[in-house]
Structure formats: structure tokens, C-alpha cells
Structure 1
Amino acid sequence: MLRVHSIESFGTHDGPGIRMVVFLQGCKLKCLYCHNPDTIDTQGGEDIEIEELVQKAIRMKSYFGETGGVTVSGGEPLLQAHNLVHFFKRLKEENIHTNIDTNGRILNHPVMELLDNYADLIMLDIKHMTEEGYQKITGQKNKETAFHLAKYREASGKKMWLRYVLIPGITSSPELLHQLGNYFKDFTTIEQIEIQPYHKLGVHKWEALGWEYELKDARENTPEELQTAKSILENYFKKVKIN
């Protein structure tokens, strides 16, 4: 059983190829820019049997082609790592590509089993390169947790993508981008980094929940800012993509 918020049948921005994206319910962070704040509450969503999700993925296999598959996102999917092991194990029995979109805050035994044996790819969201910035964005301490998971993944030799939300004035400075690049430049498992342009598409969801959206004064990126960030990161990564 997995606690599910929603399912997207033909996702094209959540890993390689066409993907079935399972958004799991629950997250311990409350990122200022979260565009799915309705996934944060661990008591929300609905319980769905793992085999039901597997059969839905099997019915989509013809659309996956050679590169597509299933991505679990959230919320934070690793909160349900124990049950994800069973889900991904079944998907691998059906030769379906598996991917996890995570903030990397959890690295326990079920997560290790999932990463070591069943996750073909992980997409790791790097929030900020400083502790102060991380706390401002997420509302939680200890930015190092994501870096611990990145090091664990690197040691396994298995594939990883990075994601980085570019917020003008908060995560966009050249200094921070060089810091990000320098930290990861010697990682061999990182296939690409995705720059996520800042947007306000989730503001109405915050309002519906009765929550204050603290980044309402932040602006979206200019094309020039996105290209500058891309140019900086291309000094460190094999592939830099603007989503």
C-alpha cells in the first residue's frame, strides 16, 4: 500500500522518456516555492494497493518505449521507502524503468535497499548551498542530508540527476552556482543537472490551504538569467538543461 496524492499518466518532465508519475503524499519540508503544497500533509491522499499501481504501469508499457518508465515524486517519496521497495521490485520484475524524485533528507536502511537494488535513476533536488539559505527555503535545518544521499549514490556507481530551482536573489547568484558546481564536479554518476525556473503556478494552492505565500514579491527569471546560470554550470556538468 502506498499513500498517493495523484497520478500523471504521460509525464515528460520527470525523468527520461514518457513516464507514469506517482505523486506520493507527505513531506517534512515546507519549501517556500512548493507548487504542490497539498502534498505536504502526511494524512492527505489515498491508500492504493501496490499491485494496482503495478498493473496500471504495465498497461502503459507500450508508451514508455526504450527510455520511459515510472517516476515516484511527491511530497517526499522516501518517507514511504519501505513500501516503495515492494513497488519497485515488482516494476523491475516487469522490466519497467524506475526513478525517484527526492529532496534527499532520508537515508535509512529501506532507502539504501531501494537505491542499491531497485532505483534505476534518482533525481536529487538541491535546495541551497548554504545552511542559512536551506533553512530559509525549507523551514528545516541541516542541508547536509541531501549531500549525504548524493555521496551514497555516487559510491554505488548508479545514475543520478540533479535539480536546482533558480530563484532570483535567493539561489541565483554566480557565487552559489560556482559553489554548486565545485561541490559536484568530480561526481561520475551525475548525467545532468536541470535548472528549474522559478514560477508561481502553485500560489493559488497555498491560498486555498489558507497559507501565506512568502515569495509573492519574488519575480520569475529573465531568459538572460537562465542562460547565465546554464553557462556557469556547463563548466562543471556534462549536460545542463533548462526545464
Structure 2
Amino acid sequence: MSTYRIRQGDTLWALASRFKTSVSALARLNKISNPNLIYAGNSLRISGHARSDSFESAKGGGARGGSGTKRAGGSRGSGHVDGSRGAGSPGQATAAMRKLASAGRAAAMSLGGYNSQGLCATGVSRAIQNAFGFKVWGNGNQIDNNLPRDKFKQVHMSLAEALKIPGLVLTWEKTSSRAGSIYGHTAITTGDGRSSVSDFIERNTLGAGGRTGLKIFMPTL
């Protein structure tokens, strides 16, 4: 039995693959209730692995799992590390974040302007491609699973906080509309504290009701 110190950017899925075990085995051994959430700095117990590859002696408890409900239809065992409790103030936004916010606004204006076309994932994917040169596939509630983990990290904050920061990717599992209950919704924050962009510019994202399963991702390029 050896212990690995979780680093920012690690995922439970990637660690299971790296150490030739399974997500369920790691979650069971470490009493992780939510495999989609692990924490940087905590220790992860690995059964049957030689002490190497940045392993450390076990000191205290194992990795801490999240207490939230596992997202229905989400990526099982993706285990995003909660490396920060926020992406900083608008003035601290990175160049990549500002670039994505600008590309998001341009994509929204080219698709629907201020009127939704039902193509939110198309708008977000186009913005990411124009900003960074690669495409992310999937609908509104699939994009979060397809964002490259070496280029985006999940951050944990309220929607109100996120809307003050430009260039964050928002994803919801479901919305109140018929299509949204199936495909969810995704958008990019503009940083003005109110609006977000996808296939259109939504003036009051904070006031949009009936959305559940919010996740927030920050580009790390």
C-alpha cells in the first residue's frame, strides 16, 4: 500500500489509468463519495503499487471525496481537483480567458445576436476553436466532459461570482426548456457580472431560472 499526493490538475480517472487500477477501486479504498471531486494536496491510497513516482508515506487520512450528488449522465470518475476556490477578480483574468470571452462574443454575434438559435454548444465550440485552435465536440451537457483537462480546469464558485470574470465556460446539465432538459446548456462568461455568450448574447444569465447541474471551467493555456 502506497500513498500519492494529489496535485492540481489530477483526475481520478487519469490516476486510475496511470496506476493500473479502476476509479471504483480508488473511490472504495479512499472512501470517496463523489468520484467527480478530489482535492489537491490530499493523499490518495493506492493498493498494491510500489512506492515510486512521487508517492509519499501515508500520513493521516486518505483523499477526501465531495459530498454533492453525482451528476446524472455525467462523466463517471472524472474526479476534477478543486485546486482553487475561484479564478480571481476580473482584473486577474488571464490573457487566454480574455481571448475566449472575445471569441465567444464574436461567435454569438455571428450566429444569433441577441436571439437564441438553440445552438449553444456550436457557439461555445466555435469560440474555443477560434481562440485556441482546437474544437470541442458535444452538446450543452457533454462539452464539460470533452474539454481537454490539460487546457481547462474545473473551478468552484457561484454563478454570480463567475459572471464577474471573463472567459469561463459554463455548463448546465438541464434547463427548463424541452430541448434543454435533454441537451442542457453551455455558455462563456463576458465578465460584466450579468451576461454570457454562446449562440447568442444572454443579457441576464443570473436571472435565467430552471437550470441545474452547473459546472464552471477555466482555460489554463
Instruction: Give the number of the structure whose residues are more often strand, by fraction.
Output: 1
Higher relative contact order (CA 8 A, sep 6+): 2
Instruction: Give the number of the structure whose residues are more often helix, by fraction.
Output: 1
Larger Rg: 2
